[in-house]
Copies of this chain bind each other. A is one copy, B any other.
């Protein structure tokens, strides 16, 4: 099976819709990337909400336009808050995205991830090692870093999508989004993005933001990936090292699609 390269024109159309509607994206993410995630959403044109108290997350996820659940640094309290948020999302018909950080490395975490996957996110977004682990076809990466190419995870991603009914977005040198039947590919980007923590985690937040404004999860994920790839390419033209690349990446999200 082949993958269809997603149209930049279509991606831009969905980006403009995101900016028109400015969706409120409730993020339950890991401690390391909260600031990065909020700044990525703001630069792209969405509105972040980062509240984490179990007393608040159910109500907040219900009224938000999208929800992100990222398991980068799960603790018992945070998992409780995430479960409440997922319940609120179900009540409010809020689309939500699961980021299974470091799936396949620690069994305890894998159990947590699988339980969330069963609760029906719209999209799961991970790197190749994470998607291979979820599909039962790999052994996990090195911490948060993938040790596999995204193309190696494409068939397992399709199988996982068909099994679960959840669209799968696997990102890397080429990003893919699939529901098991249709697969979109997004090439490009810059390897330097892997040297800035949170580019992957915040991409999951962007996927949630796009899912808030576009009903097709495969196209929504591909549009988010397109924005991130274009921003990384812009940053790579502006900066030769990861410190200034980080700032320029945020700038690229804001300036897209009309780079200087």
Contacts and interface: CB of A to CB of B under 8 A. Distances in A.
Nearest to A143: B49
A250 B248 CA distance: 14
A56 B102 CA distance: 12
A38 B200 CA distance: 14
A59 to B, nearest CB: 6
A119 interface: no
B250 A198 contact: no
Interface of A: 24, 26, 30-36, 38-39, 42-43, 47-53, 55-56, 59-60, 72-77, 102, 105-106, 108-109, 142-145, 194-198, 239-244, 246-252, 254-255, 260
Contacts of A252: 241, 243
B144 A49 contact: yes
A1 B19 CA distance: 38
Among A36, A145, A242, A255, the one with the most B-chain Cβ atoms within 10 Å of its Cβ is A242
Given A75-B77, A241-B251, A250-B242, A31 B52 contact: yes
B35 A145 contact: no
A247 to B, nearest CB: 4
A143 B251 contact: no
A210 to B, nearest CB: 18
Contact of A75 (B36, B53, B72): B53
The 8 closest A-B pairs by CB, nearest first: A243-B250, A241-B251, A49-B143, A243-B247, A38-B197, A243-B251, A241-B254, A32-B34
